Structures are given as structure tokens and as C-alpha cells.
A = this chain, B = another copy of it.
Amino acid sequence: MVKNKQATQDKLIKAVGEVLADVGFSGVGVNAVAKRAGVDKVLIYRYFGSFDKLCLAFAQSADFWPSLKELIPDPEVLSAMGTAERVTLVLKRFTTSLRKRPLTLEVMAWELLERNAFTIELENVREASGLELNRFMQDLSSNTTRDSTDEIDWLAITAVLSAGMQYLALRARKINVYNGIELNKDEGWMQLERSIETLIAGVTT
């Protein structure tokens, strides 16, 4: 038995993610996490105060949500595009980033059912990130030559489309088909991407 507070804390935080990944949200609890960390559960209360606080620590530690620079590593490239192409590209990247994060998806699904430390924390990160992204996109737009797309409600349009891709990413975890689209195959997702292209392109013509 080695005694090292920091290491134990880290083990606990890591264990939350592992349990979440292994057995899903329903298995995430004091006993399971402590067992997984190979540590007594009482340490959760000693070091984090409560289980919720531990969850919160985990939510802050991992990169749950696609960061701005993950979505837009190349602002100068984007700024050379028209609004439609730019929005399309970012939506695609957003979807891809999301699908790469099984833990985020698990918590996002959770978020639709319960409000707890996890979901509230993710919510905060997401809101901040969304605002940042919108601001960024607006800045890019204002640098672009003004065109016929100015009076379009991009906020609402991206809301519907990003919500759609999020929902499909969530469903894909459990169910393979939605409305005839095969969510378990890349072909299905390409089909969806093409739809987004078509939809957004149509708006600007």
C-alpha cells in the first residue's frame, strides 16, 4: 500500500471515465468507481467531498467538447470561403469531432434525462463553446464580402442541423438505422453530409 494523495485522486478521476465507458451511466456510482480505482470509496468523500464533486472534477479534466481550435484550426482558410461553404464545413467537422467522443455522447444522452453534476458541467462548457463559435463565425462573416446571405437566420439553421447531427450521433450508439439511413456505416454519414451540403447550398441561391 502506497500513500499518495495526488495519485489516488488521479486514479479516482480516471476511474470515473473508465466506468462510464465500460458500463455506461447507470453503472457510475461510488462503489463501482472506487472498486475500479482499486481504492476505498471513503476516499471519494475525503478528497472530493461528494460523488458529484468527483464527477465534476472528471468533467473538467477530460476534453469533453470539441474546442474551437479543433473545429477551426485554420481561420484564414475559412475566411476565404463564402458563408455557405464555411458553415457546411464547420458543421461537418463538428459532427466528426462529436462522433469521436463516446464519453461525451454518453453524457449528452444522460443530459436529456437528468440534471446532475456531470450534465450541468458539460452544459456550461457547451454553452461557452457555442457562444465562442458563433462569435467566431460572425467575425469571419463580417470580413467576407457582403452577399445575399445576410438576412438569413443562420442561428436557427445551424441549430436545426447541428441538433440533427447530434441526435443521430447519439442514436448511432444504440440503433443502427434511422429513417433508412445506416448510422453504423460511413456511407450513411456521407449521405447525411451531402444532405447538409445540399440544404445549405440551397439557402444561399
What's the tally of chain A residues with a CB closer than 8 Å to chain B?
Answer: 54
Q: Check B155 against A180 for contact (C-beta < 8 Å).
A: yes
Stretch at the interface among A32-40, A55-63, A68-76, A108-116: A108-116
**Secondary structure dominating the interface of A:** helix
A90 located at the interface, meaning its Cβ lies under 8 Å from any Cβ of chain B in the complex: no
Task: Give Cα A131 to B139, complex, Å.
Answer: 43
- A112-B112, A203-B202 are contacts. A181–B164 as well, Cβ < 8 Å? no
Contact A161 B164 (CB under 8 A): yes
A147, CB-defined interface residue at 8 Å: no
CB neighbors of B among A152-168 (8 A): 152-153, 155-168
Most buried by B among A162, A175, A195, A196: A195
For A131, the closest partner residue in chain B by CB is B180
Q: Is the CB of A114 within 8 A of B26?
A: yes
A170 to chain B, nearest CB (A): 5
The chain B residue with its CB closest to the CB of A191 is B156
Binding site for B on A (CB under 8 A): 24-26, 106, 109-115, 123, 127, 130, 134, 152-153, 155-168, 170-171, 173-175, 177-181, 191-192, 194-196, 198-205
Q: What 8 additional pairs, Cβ within 8 angstroms, besides A159-B181, A163-B165?
A: A112-B170, A112-B171, A130-B180, A155-B179, A159-B180, A160-B168, A163-B164, A199-B199
